[in-house]
Amino acid sequence: MNLKFWKKNGTTAAADSKKKSTAREWTDAIIFAVIAATLIRTFFIEAYTIPTPSMEKSLLVGDFLFVSKVNYGARTPMTPIAFPFAHHTILGMKAYSDVVQWDYHRIPGFQDIKNGDVVVFNYPVDVDPATGLPRPVDKRENYIKRCIAIAGDTISVIKGEAYVNGKPAPVQQQGQTDYTVQTDGTDLNRKTLQEMHISGDKISSNVYDLTMTPENAEKMKQFSSVKSVQKFVYPDSIADPSIYPQDAAFKWNVDNFGPLWVPKKGATLKLTKENIALYRHCINFYEKNELKEQPDGFYINGKKTDSYTFKMNYYFMMGDNRHNSLDSRFWGFVPEDHVVGKALFIWMSYDSEGGFFSKIRWSRLFNGIH
């Protein structure tokens, strides 16, 4: 028997059996935790918070949500080189490198986006303020809105009410909007308005401009001092130049919009001078083609054509706070590669303006999102 062979093996075994140092154990544990958490938030579920009132009163500022990545199918990373747990910036610095960019792919989910779903997505027109250039798709700001129209639908907003394919939207007004309230000259009780979570201002001796839910509007009609409660709607005679597609030919505003067809993957659109403004950004920017408009017609990637077949599904998103939401009425469609996930439930709700014992909105904890 080779004695040196056994000695060598014994020495190796002893070295392998040595206990890891405390620093090594902590390092291994941290690396494992970072990898596990990254995989979970990339492919399964992630926490988000509501920073603005665009979804009130369905979702409130200070609501903390869990958003599922598996319902619609998890999107594989598109910008893989990035700091863990950071989105696009960290300590005021860029938190990712766009040297490596992967194409869009999505793992199959167990449902498609439906009309009325509350969806988290990347803000389609987000840019890096330092460069003025668009950020990579998966590093654009996260937005949350309600999907009013899915691919293939035709969306219209008429006098503040949404219509899909000529019928009232399945999920109509879930949040709040503006009302004009006229009283007999008696001031409305500010404390009562605060308790009802109604905001707004007095604009004359007996007229108020208030933002509230339809339920609270009905309650206010019962106040003895209230003479009328009218939903405020911008007249269709007023054209808002900031409304999509920011073209003078389309005289739309937030309460009177469309009709607008939402592009669908595989659908072919006949291109005309009348509709090109509506779909130019989809063809050029989202689907990365070179579209040129010449006197003799349209050219896509150097070839003359009078039609275009879309490569992705698109969605039309709106906030439930209809007069205080930056949504598809202003910047157009949400492409499918921008979709992050489906909002599931509220796991925490924090009211920064509440009293010491009422900072947490206990009644909202673990509420589902509908």
Cα(104)–Cα(338) distance, rounded to whole angstroms?
Answer: 9
Catalytic residue among 69, 139, 145, 342: 145
**168 with 162: CB under 8 angstroms?**
yes
- Cα 197 to chain centroid distance, Å, stands at 24
Nearest to 226 by CA among 189, 177, 198, 173: 189
Cα(101)–Cα(104) distance, rounded to whole angstroms?
Answer: 9
| Residue 326 DSSP label | -
Cα(198)–Cα(2) distance, rounded to whole angstroms?
Answer: 89
68 assigned to active site:
no
265 assigned to active site:
no
| Residue 360 DSSP label | B
- Cα 239 to chain centroid distance, Å, stands at 25
Query: Which stretches of 266-358 are assigned E, i.e. beta strand?
Result: 268-270, 291-294, 297-300, 303-305, 307-309, 314-318, 334-335, 339-349
Helix (H, G, I), strand (E, B) or coil at 106: strand
In DSSP terms, 48 is beta-bridged to 65
Place of tokens 């990035």: 82
**11 with 61: CB under 8 angstroms?**
no
Sheet with strand 207-212: strands edge to edge: 199-202, 207-212, 177-183, 226-231
Q: What's the one-letter identity of residue 133?
A: L
Cα(147)–Cα(318) distance, rounded to whole angstroms?
Answer: 6
**63 with 49: CB under 8 angstroms?**
yes
Structure tokens at 243: 């409304």
Residues with active-site annotation: 54, 145
